[in-house]
Amino acid sequence: MPVSTTIRFEAMEPSPALREDIQRHVHKLSQLSPRLTSCDVAVRRSEQRHVHGNRYLVRVSASLDGVPFQAGRTPPKDRTHEDAYIAVRDAFDALRRQLEDHRARRDTVRRAMPEAMSLFH
């Protein structure tokens, strides 16, 4: 089932190439977590600078089995997020780690459940 994806560009012109890169990241996440149902991505240019590049803020919200996940942070003071593609990559990496942690916790609970149920029989 395809993931319902919304991509918004705020305070900047939409970029077809960046949109395609975001869709590639969503596709990779859906392969990692097939039960991913929605993904909302907001890309925002956080500053209007003329001398040095603008930094980008990327927020990603996703839903997996009805559980919401969010990733994204204020751009660091260094120049890494002057490239929108790096900001997108970092946000999706953070979301991927959250989904992996969620899956690991869920699997741990599932493995412990048969042992817990045997205590009641």
Q: What is the pLDDT of residue 114?
A: 59
pLDDT in tens, 49-104: 555 667 889 999 999 888 999 998 776 666 777 889 999 999 999 999 999 998 88
Q: Which among 79, 41, 76 has a CA at the least distance from the CA of 58? A: 41
Residue 38 reports pLDDT greater than 90: yes
* Residues whose CB is less than 8 angstroms from the CB of residue 99 and which lie 6 or more positions away in sequence, other chains included: 29, 32, 33, 36, 62, 64, 69
Residue with tokens 């089995």: 65
In the chain, what are the domains? 4-118 (3.30.160.100)
Within a 10 A sphere around the Cβ of 55, how many other Cβ atoms?
A: 22
Q: Could you give the CA distance from residue 42 to residue 8 in angstroms, rounded to a whole number?
A: 5
Do residues 32 and 96 lie in contact, with contact meaning Cβ atoms separated by under 8 Å? yes
Whole-model pTM: value is 0.82
As a whole-number percent, the residues of the chain with pLDDT over 90 amount to 53
